[in-house]
Amino acid sequence: MQTVLEYGQHAYIHGGFGYIRSDGSVDDTKPVELDLTARSTYIYAIASLLGIPGSLRRCEHGIQSISNAFKDPDYDGWFSLIEPIQEHQKLTNAPGIPAGTEGNRKSARAMSYLLEAAAAASLTHVSSAKELLKQAITVEEKYFWNEEVGRVNETFKRDFSEMENYHGMSSNLHAVSAFLSVANATQDKKWIERAARIVSFAMEQARNNNWRVPEHFDGDWNLDRNYNVGTPADPRRPYGINVGHNFGWSRRIVQVAAALQKNGLEPPQDYLQVAREIFDRTAADSWCKDGHSGISFTVDYHGKPLMRQRFTWVLTEALQAVVSLAFALREQGATAEELEPYFELYYRWWDYLEGYVIHADGYWVGELNANNLPDDTVWPGAPDIYHSVSVLLTPRLPNAPSAAAAIAQGNLDHPLSAEHHKALWE
């Protein structure tokens, strides 16, 4: 992990964290993304809680960048994308300039990463993180969280005068993680209950769609099976079923259930069955489907692979899901023999990472083609280290509380209750 964190330091730029190229250099000509800045801030908050030198300074840089460069000086919220910081801005600490149409929109996805970063940083010694978290909660509740439907709204115009006529499960997936982190940082159970409402909808969709969670809905939350049918390689909203997100839903379901139980609340009765069905279906749809090892990026609504590119973030979601599911099953009394199919996938997927993705200098190849050769069709380079650090930590942490809180509370390397811990991965 130390090597990965050192590699991630290359992303440090004025105004946040930039996009890392394949050679490890940062592309300081690209607009600076709130997503990447918040994700790197979150990772260095985690690293700071682990006591890794230099991490607190980088976490603080991220919090200050979000609070200053990304903060909209005229309207609520934060820009999703800003132009590279110029010399005069470095001297005056002036707000960033939104980059293009995307930069002028306020995004639920970016807000979720911001909330997660601020919540994690609030558990460190970055004093300004608590104020940022307070501001972010206000914006989330005012615009993004939809109490009526129990899900988040997608994007808005800069002044919040107009909401996009689209809803996506991607933003809601990330909102679940953010809400659990906020609950741990604020000790407010309503965020767990909100995460549970989102998960309940995902479970309903899985039951109704042969254990696949669809991605795309219109403004009234009607399923849109043809969304982006002509752009299957869209990096944010690809056509069809997003494999990485379906693995993610399997994991979020058991995480939310664990958080509910930890706080004296009842999870859905069939949560473990649904999580297992989603995981099993997703693995069957996507792993080794074209004569080569690897997990396809997307499948159609019948499970046929569409985009056969292999993305490292998808595999890390799969690995985190298999770990979280195994922990949940173990807590329910599953034996090592019953867990054997999950152990096998866990080791096979790590072998794949070792064989094709991980380099000794901390670089993880971001994208491979169907023949497992490095590619950059969709995601050039390896933008950040969010997924690589997360997958390294997941086997060492419980399903609840969230990573930052678990580390802060001394639960590192204690992922299971004492009676179920012995010999799980031996």
Catalytically active residues, by annotation: 245, 387
Going by C-alpha positions, the residue among 70, 57, 180, 50 that lies closest to residue 116 is: 180
Instruction: Let me know: does 198 contact 259? Beta carbons within 8 Å.
Output: no
Beta carbons of 373 and 228 less than 8 angstroms apart? no
Q: Report the distance separating Cα 164 and Cα 192, nearest Å.
A: 26
Separation of alpha carbons 79 and 158, rounded Å? 8
For residues 183 and 191, what is the distance between their CA atoms, to the nearest angstrom?
5
Per-residue three-class SS string for 321-369: HHHHHHHHHHHCCCCHHHHHHHHHHHHHHHHHHHHHHECCCCCECCEEC
Q: How many residues does the chain have?
A: 426
What's the rounded Cα separation, in Å, for the pair 20 and 4?
13
Residue 187, Ramachandran bin (φ over 0: left; ψ between -120 and 50: alpha; else beta): left
- Whether 49 and 124 have beta carbons less than 8 Å apart is answered as yes
Q: Are 191 and 182 in contact (CB under 8 A)?
A: yes
- Cis amide linkage into residue 401, ω under 30° from 0: yes
DSSP state of 6: H
Rounded to whole angstroms, the Cα distance separating 404 from 396 reads: 12
Tell me the C-alpha distance between 413 and 408, whole Å: 12
Angstrom distances, CA of residue 220 to CA of 46, 65, 195, 215, 236: 37, 35, 20, 14, 20
